[in-house]
Structure 1
Amino acid sequence: MNVIKLQRKYPQFDQNEIFQLSNAFQNMDVDDKGYIDEATVIKATQNSERQPYDVVRQALKEVELDSSRRVELDDYVDLISKLRTPSQAQKSMATGPTRSRGLSNAQLQGQQPSPGHASKGSVGGGQSTGGGRIHVGGATSSSQHTINEDEREEFTRHINAVLAGDADIGNKLPFPTDTFEMFDECKDGLVLAKLINDSVPDTIDERVLNRPGKKIKTLNAFHMTENNNIVIESAKGIGCSVVNIGSGDIIEVKEHLILGLIWQIIRRGLLGKIDIRLHPELYRLLEDDETLEQFLRLPAEQILLRWFNYHLKNAKWHRTVSNFSSDVKDGENYTVLLNQLKPEICSRSPLQTNDLMQRAEQVLDNADKLDCRKFLTPKSLVAGNPKLNLAFVANLFNTHPGLEPITEEEKADIEDFDAEGEREARVFTLWLNSLDVQPTVVSFFDDLRDGTILLQAYDKVIPGSVQWRHANKRPANGNELMRFKAVENTNYAVEIGKQNRFSLVGIQGADITDGQRTLTLGLVWQLMRKDIVNTLGALAQRMGKREISDADMVAWANGMSKKGGKSSAIRSFKDSTLGNGIFLLDVLNGMKSSYVDYDMVASGRNDDEAYANAKLAISIARKMGATIWLVPEDICNVRSRLIVTFIGSLMATAEKMGV
């Protein structure tokens, strides 16, 4: 669009100003492409217009960009026009919350902050409502969502800390904690992928990620979608609930969804370390007449509360905690806990302070002496924010458990603990939770004993199969079902399975209620396999079959390997050659050859090479958008049932891709 047309469209600018804006745009468009990306525009406009990051960000949201989200000259002039006649949304963000902010990096170094790091802050994409709540989203109340400002700030700090120095994104850090820049930087998937690997190492093979470099100069929407496919599917694979978020939501920077995903990833990393294999001294928390198996059924949050109360009891303190909100918000229990963990440096003097905010600051000063001042601020402590308090306590446990080492006799008890079926149980737990069963499955064998979860799963996988008037529901008061009612449910679950041609010879409901592991795994496996087969219904119809069999899956996989020009093949899902991961990579290559770089594929002659191939195969499958529940060890150990789920998911993905 030439200068004359621009001036007609934006009469508030004289011809000289239009020339200046055009020159400014050309200076940003260094490659002379005729457009620039949003991030470049925001950063440059911050300086030229002397506006905070989030004000410019909001103004750009008000510009009607096309689906590519590229900013052309006309869009840039429109942006400047909107900034110079600001909307109410921009004005409210320029004012920002009245409470104090964390210092930016520039301030810490004694420099004046840039406009985007203004100490008074802005609330990017939303309006502060006081009390740390921010509205984000659309212009109408129905399209708006609320996020917690304390959580945004603390999770941003966490990302800055754990990803500092990263080879791919370290140059972008630290993100300001008082703007929404972190959310914008999540859109290409790299920050979230790195965060997943920090929380659960080795989840993603980072060689598969699309990154700017020699091969790709700038990531486009397709590259970002592939990265975010990996993020979404990997998050599922580590146990995050991602029912309501997709790749497009991340690319479109839906802040409330991204913040929720970030919390789940951080939470998974913190609580995943509360494991008796990592901390055998957790044995100390067993109560009288409680078995190790009973203890390990507890959710990680309950184990944390048990740990907290263990120390309060040893400190002869009169209070206990049953939550991470109201029971900790006055700071008293934290004071006693920290004193019990390190009495020589953490005193109980905060108990003498009446002002709750001052006491909270003193509590966090004590935590700082243990290098554990993380996730909480005085305000979020006093507010009783359950997420941030949980994160604070989990980090404290992971750093200073304060439990006596176990004896050799106790160590033998832990080593003898029966872990039969734990690998399959982990995958089946993730799958059941992906169906959104309620309550969430935590302890697989225990949570299935009363049949209510199984019946919900049947109803999701085979709609209409459950007549709910025949089912016994859990009491509203939270108590367990009486045994005879639980057995009625599990008998009903077995009956439904038989009606749907499951092989359940010798299985009775009482076996499920009694926690018989092999039989429980067998039933759930057949239900999961039914779910896989259901997704392949159209393919079965084309093949003239009622449903896809294991033999059909093997034939499909062999055919896909051959299609990619490879000679590898298997006879069954128990074939030992599956263990080196190469066949699965050949199948993926047949689906889309550009996804498998054979320079990355090892020979698979030793355990390390086989593991690397398996991890690579899982990440490539997720890049295609496949939902993969297993982990590399499952492939290396040729766990046939779990490999069936891998191939079944690839078949479903191939159907969507039209392969």
Structure 2
Amino acid sequence: MEATGQKLHKVDGLTTLGENGIVHTICDEEEVAFSNWINNNLSDDGDLVQLLPLDPQSQELYTKINDGLILCKLINLAVRDTIDERVINKKNLNTYTKLENLTLSLMSAQAIGCAIINIDADDLFKGKPHLVLGLLWQIIRIGLFNQIDLSNVPGLLRILDKDENVESLRKMSPEDILVKWVNYHLEKAGCGKKLGNFTNDVQDSVIYTHLLHQIAPKGSGVGLGPLSVDGNVDRAGAMLEEAEKIGVREFVSAGDVSNGVYKLNLAFVANLFNKYPSLPEPDVEEVELIVAADKESREEKTYRNWMNSLGVSSCVNWLYADLQNGLVIFQLYDIIQPGVVNWKKVVQTFRKLQSMMEKISNCNYAVELGRELRFSLVGIQGKDLYDGNRTLTLALVWQLMRAYTLVILSQCTHANDGKLVGDKDIIEWANQKLTASGKESSIKGFQDSTISNGRAVIDLIDAIAPGSIDYEMVKDQGESKLSNAKYAISSGRKIGAKIYALPEDIVEVKPKMVMTVFACLMARDYSGTKN
């Protein structure tokens, strides 16, 4: 919940259907915080010399992101190598090449889990404030939260209670982990206070002052002086001066702290954690626990990002924990086939004593719906989803993603006869498109080993959007496969294909993900527009 006291202004927005004007409320603090974050993290990028620094007070954030360069760089800052730099238009930009960059940034943002519903390249080109800030927050949040896990910070085991384990940590959201991390340090500091939220609990800066003092390196000069300052705003200012000593004065002003602005205080704490987790390294026994714990696979990450990009109401952080109650699965069914879910059968608020049975009941209904949609769910029961059985959960999730992809494709091809486009249709289309464009490459199926060099995908993209590929970038020697695959994925996104797969999926010829790549390119070809 946002605290009061924020500086807000209103901007007019018009719907695409020509309805009455809609008024959007913009948070001035976010404009300033995001501008400063961009300046501090991208100022050394030679491609942005003409754009940075942004003036946080002038609203030029909205005009300077309209060529897509800042957004592309920010996405790569959040999730390294998401966008192949070779694909970004960087020089002599005109309206068309700017829109290409913006399309590339939107498709790439979607691929890392940003919900980009009702936003397109033209909205960003026009600098619509509420849409720009909404997208920037999602990208920045993903970047900040990426490091909050055991693989990056093994010492996170230290924040767990006695009755908790590695699996408990996985089930926590990044926000919950940050709260536990802060409280761990407050207890070590003997503070006597506990953090419960990022709004009211931080307004007096007492927690922040103790936290900074506890995590700061020895000899940094960070002290508890702000505690003796009267007034929340002045105390927050003094606290931020202490933060400045160790280079963590990011996202918040004194007013943002004293007003309890949720997003910015959350970002402030996440940045503190990323720079100074200050947790003891695990011992030998604990290291064994961490090593034994399965890490998120590429496939799991792709599914998670896909779900989040569709705007499911509960953010998916760990696939098995967050699908356990069935609610996200029902939302996906409703997106794939609107109206298929009978929500009267779904328990949405769980009672403490009955929650296990209610969640299993939901999962049973989820499996039942899958069978109605002709999913292959042999041997899968609701209890398997509730228990987080990886193999069986992934079997359902893949079929959800496949169904979604084919529904979108069928809509684009105008196949409204109730029959979905199938694998054979996609392969036939790809080969016909390649042949008609004079390309030498072809595919026999989604397991065709020749796909691994990326050539077929690259040629197909050029066939869909002639001239979109710079063939000087395409290599046939040495370590060229991964390079070609990276170029192919980003090039596909640049022409508006909603590709979630990763370059490694092409190199390793993972048939499931390869199928989605070709299906998304086919949808892009039939739509004829750069979404």
State which drifts further: 432-441 or 305-314.
432-441
State whether structure 2 residue 486 is matched by structure 1 residue 615.
yes
Is residue 653 from structure 1 mapped to residue 524 from structure 2 by the alignment? yes
1:532-547 equivalences in 2 (<5 Å): 532-537=405-410, 546-547=419-420
Contact 1:580 1:604 in 2 (8 A): no
Mark the CA change 1:438 to 1:572 in structure 2 (over 3 Å): closer, same or farther. same
Secondary structure, counterpart of 2:499 in structure 1: coil
Shift of 1:287: 2.0
Pairwise CA distance, 1:633: 2.4
Tell whether 2:423 aligns with 1:550: yes
Partner of 1:374: 250
- Note if 1:529 corresponds to 2:402: yes
Instruction: Tell me what 2:512 maps to.
Output: 641
Provide the C-alpha distance between the structure 1 equivalents of 2:508 and 2:422, rounded to a whole number of angstroms.
23
- Pairwise CA distance, 1:313: 0.9
Determine whether 1:288 maps to 2:136: no
Q: Does 1:409 align with 2:282?
A: no
- Report whether the alignment pairs 1:229 with 2:97: no
Task: From 385, 392, 398, give the equivalent of 2:261.
Answer: 385
Q: State whether residues 582 and 604 of structure 1, in contact with CA within 8 Å, keep that contact through their aligned partners in structure 2.
A: no
- In 2, the alpha carbon distance for the partners of 1:515 and 1:416 equals 17
* 1:9-42 deviation digits (Å, cap 9, x = unpaired): xxxxxxxxxxxxxxxxxxxxxxxxxxxxxxxxxx
Paired residues of 1:580 and 1:605 also in contact (CA < 8 A): no
Q: 1:474 to 1:281 in 2, by over 3 A?
A: same
Paired AA for residue 502 in structure 1: F
Shift of 1:142: 4.7
Structure 1 residue matching 2:184: 3-state secondary structure? helix
Q: Quick one: which amino acid aligns to residue 488 of structure 1?
A: S
Distance in 1 separating the partners of 2:29 and 2:353: 37
Q: Does 1:189 align with 2:60?
A: no
Q: How do 1:151-190 residues align onto structure 2 when only pairs under 5 Å count?
A: 151-190=30-69
1:28-67 → structure 2 map (5 Å cutoff): none
Distance 2:13 2:358 in 1: 49
SS in 1 for 2:10: strand
**1:434-481: CA deviation from partner (whole Å, max 9, x where unpaired):** 333322222211121222222222122122322222222233x7x596
Matched, 1:134 2:13: no
CA distance in 2, matches of 1:138, 1:370: 41
Equivalent residue runs for 1:341-380 within 5 Å: 341-342=215-216, 344=219, 345-380=221-256
- The aligned residue for residue 325 of structure 2 is 450
Instruction: Tell me how far 1:544 sits from its aligned partner.
Output: 8.9
SS at match of 1:439: coil
What displacement does 1:337 show?
0.7
Kindly indicate whether the alpha-carbon contact (under 8 Å) linking 2:307 and 2:316 is maintained by their aligned counterparts in 1. yes
**How far is 1:143 from its partner?**
3.5
Aligned partner of 2:360: which letter? V
User: TM-score, with normalisation over the residues of structure 2?
Assistant: 0.92
Deviations along 1:492-533, one digit per CA (max 9) or x if unpaired, are 222222222211111111111111111111112112211222
1:196-345 aligned at under 5 Å gives the runs 196-213=75-92, 218-220=93-95, 222-342=96-216, 344=219, 345=221
Name the CA distance, whole Å, in 2 between partners of 1:318 and 1:403.
20
Whole-Å separation in 2 of the counterparts to 1:448 and 1:636: 30
Matched AA of 2:388? G
Partner Cα separation in structure 2 for residue 545 and residue 493 of structure 1: 22
Superposed CA deviations along residues 341-396 of structure 1, whole A, max 9, x for unmatched, are 13652222221222222211211111111111121211111111111111111111
Aligned to 1:632: 503
Kept after mapping to 2: 8 A contact 1:561/1:589: no
Residues 501 and 333 (structure 1), Cα distance of their counterparts in 2 relative to 1, 3 Å cut:
same
Q: Is the 8 A contact 2:87 2:487 kept in 1?
A: yes
Q: Which moved more, 1:303-312 or 1:256-265?
A: 256-265
Equivalent runs, 1:79-94 vs 2, <5 Å: none
Residue number in structure 1 paired with 2:335: 460
Please give the TM-score of this superposition, normalised by the length of structure 1: 0.75
Distance 1:434 1:284 in 2: 32
Percent sequence identity over aligned pairs:
39
Contact 1:445 1:515 in 2 (8 A): yes
* Partners of 1:462 and 1:495 in 2: CA distance: 15
> For the Cα contact (< 8 Å) 1:474–1:480, is it kept in 2?
no
Counterpart mapping for 1:565-584 below 5 A: 565-584=438-457
Q: Please say if residues 107 and 499 of structure 2, whose CA atoms lie closer than 8 Å, have aligned partners that are also in contact.
A: yes
Contact 2:114–2:308 at 8 Å: present in 1 too? no
> Which residue is equivalent to 2:297?
422
- Kept after mapping to 1: 8 A contact 2:320/2:388: yes
Separation in 1 of the partners of 2:275 and 2:343? 47
Which residue type is aligned with residue 610 of structure 1? K
Which amino acid letter does the alignment assign opposite residue 613 of structure 1?
A: N
The verdict on how the C-alpha distance between 1:277 and 1:254 changes in structure 2, with shifts beyond 3 A counting, is same
Does the CA contact (< 8 Å) of 1:211 and 1:219 recur in 2?
A: no
SS of the residue corresponding to residue 212 of structure 1 reads coil
1:73 aligns with: none
Q: Deviations over 1:593-650 (max 9, x none)?
A: 31111100122643xx322212211111111111111222232332221221111111
Larger Rg: 1
Q: Answer yes or no: is the 8 Å Cα contact 1:245–1:257 preserved in 2.
A: yes
User: Following the alignment from structure 1 to structure 2, what is the Cα–Cα distance between the partners of residues 407 and 359?
Assistant: 39
Find out whether 1:148 has 2:27 as its counterpart. yes
Q: Would you say the 8 A contact 1:579–1:635 is kept in 2?
A: yes
- The secondary structure found in structure 2 opposite 1:387 is helix
The CA deviation string for residues 533-589 of structure 1, in whole angstroms up to 9 with x for no partner, is 212326777699932222322232233333333322333322333233222112212
Q: Does 1:519 align with 2:398?
A: no
Q: What SS class does the counterpart of residue 135 from structure 1 fall into?
A: strand
How far, CA to CA, are the matches of 1:503 and 1:433 in structure 2? 24
Helix, strand or coil at the partner of 1:440: coil
Aligned mates of 2:99, 2:353 — CA distance in 1:
44
Unaligned ranges ≥5, structure 1? 1-128
Query: What one-letter code is carried by the residue in structure 2 that aligns with 1:651?
Result: M
The letter for the 1-side match of 2:486 is K
**What's 1:487 paired with?**
360
Shift of 1:429: 1.9
Is residue 475 of structure 2 the alignment partner of residue 599 of structure 1? no
TM-superposed deviation, 1:261: 1.2
What value does the CA root-mean-square deviation take over the aligned residues? 2.5
The Cα of 1:130 is off from its aligned counterpart by 8.2
Distance 2:154 2:9 in 1: 42
Q: Distance in 2 between matches of 1:395 and 1:130?
A: 23
Residue type matched to 2:348 in 1?
Answer: K
- Cα 1:276–1:563 change in 2 (3 A) is farther
CA distance in 1: counterparts of 2:51 and 2:384, whole angstroms: 55
Q: Is the 8 A contact 2:205 2:257 kept in 1?
A: yes
Structure 1 residues 350 and 545, CA gap change in structure 2 (3 angstroms): closer
Displacement of 1:234 in angstroms is: 0.9
- Relative distance call for 1:594 and 1:648 in structure 2 (3 A) is same
